[in-house]
Copies of this chain bind each other. A is one copy, B any other.
Amino acid sequence: MSEQVGVAVLGLGTIGGEVARTIVADDRLRLVAALARRLESANRAGIDPSLFGVDGAAIVDNPDVQVVVEVLGGEQPAADLMIRALANGKHVVTANKEAVSKNLPAILAAARDGDAAFLCEASVGGGIPLFVSLKQIMETNRIERIRGIVNGTTNYILWKMETEGTAYADALAQAQELGYAEPDPTADVEGFDSSYKLAILASLISGRHVRPEEIDRTGISTVTAEDIEEAKLKGGTVRLIASAERAGDNLLLRVAPTFVSGDDLFSLVSANYNAVEIVGDNVGPVMLHGQGAGPKPTASAILSDVFEAIRSGSAATPKVML
């Protein structure tokens, strides 16, 4: 790459700010525009205010932009902007599990129409090299099942309850103090976030659009200190497990607090870490473990995707029929 590649960042929250600063610091890339609601976000992120804009469509249509990084969060306007960018022939990299899980067919169709790359490594498992591993395994395996601890907030809460005997409400309050949980923690603690991530994984392994609503979902808000104590007495613990398992032509899809025995690697997934196990018919079980969130791990995964998009173009887009 002798010339710098123009990148736009949609969203300047903690992740977007980190991504934008990394792009500015990388001489292979040029930050062309950054979308946020208010100029303060650009200032807080340390971004040249002249790059700041409030009009997403204009940024996505900008001819100097070759890659769009979408980290707005939420379904809209994120999904529409990604679809518009892809149809325009711009590569899109995102960490947005909600927008992707609800709109995957339209997104992949736009990527096909625009002959552009769509990559979402950071949408599940943060910095864990999950999709690149899944893609490699899928090439020579039928995936029998997949299970994961894919939400760091709930894992932190359950781990606090396990290691300190804390009640659910106290562990949640601690997670909120540390910034691991939102003031309104519903999306995490009721399992919505996990179901978005599982829907993306299940769509990739099944080749059909698995909608988040299809998933049998139970959160952790009803888990008590006694439940955890009981699990410990049985030599294990409790984790919020998202799982997809083949049953004939169907997938059994579930997010639920689950007993994990003490000899299972998942029992040692601590704090806000994530883990995903992929079981292939040839390779057997493969487990990946790492930081599922946080600005630096997530930005690291996003930047990898940006370079993969530049390198491989539309060939980088997952080859699934939806």
Chain B positions within 8 Å of A161 at CB level:
none
A118–B61 Cα distance when bound, in Å, is 40
**Hey, what's the 0/1 contact readout for A300-322 against B, CB within 8 Å counting as 1?**
11011001100100010000000
The residues in A between 188 and 216 inclusive whose CB is less than 8 angstroms from any CB of B are none
With A268-B265, A268-B268 already in contact, the answer to whether A137 and B141 are too (CB < 8 A) is no
- Considering only residues 255-283 of chain A, those with a C-beta below 8 Å from chain B are 263-265, 267-268, 270, 280, 282-283
For A129, give its contact among B137, B270, B299, B303 (CB under 8 Å).
B137
Report B-chain residues with C-beta under 8 Å of the C-beta of A297. Answer: 282-284
Contacts A265-B265, A283-B296, A286-B290 given; does A129 touch B127 at CB 8 Å: no
Query: What chain B residues lie within 8 Å of A315 (beta carbons)?
Result: 311
What chain B residues lie within 8 Å of A290 (beta carbons)? Answer: 283-287
Return A124 CB to nearest CB of chain B, in Å: 14
Q: How many copies does the complex hold?
A: 2
A289 beta carbon closer than 8 Å to chain B? yes
Q: Is A139 an interface residue (CB 8 A)?
A: yes
For chain A, give the interface size range: 35 or more
B283 and A300 within 8 A (CB): yes
Q: How far is the CA of A282 from the CA of B290 in the complex (A)?
A: 12
A125-152 residues with Cβ-Cβ distance < 8 A to B are 127-129, 132-133, 136-137, 139-141
In the complex the two chains form, is A127's CB within 8 Å of B286's CB?
yes
A140-B300, A300-B141 known; A286 vs B132 contact (CB < 8 Å)? no
| Cβ distance A322 to chain B, nearest Cβ, rounded Å | 22
The 7 closest A-B pairs by CB, nearest first: A127-B283, A129-B133, A286-B290, A282-B300, A287-B289, A140-B303, A140-B300
Residues of A within 8 A of B (CB): 22, 121, 127-129, 132-133, 136-137, 139-141, 263-265, 267-268, 270, 280, 282-291, 294, 296-297, 299-301, 303-304, 307-308, 311, 315
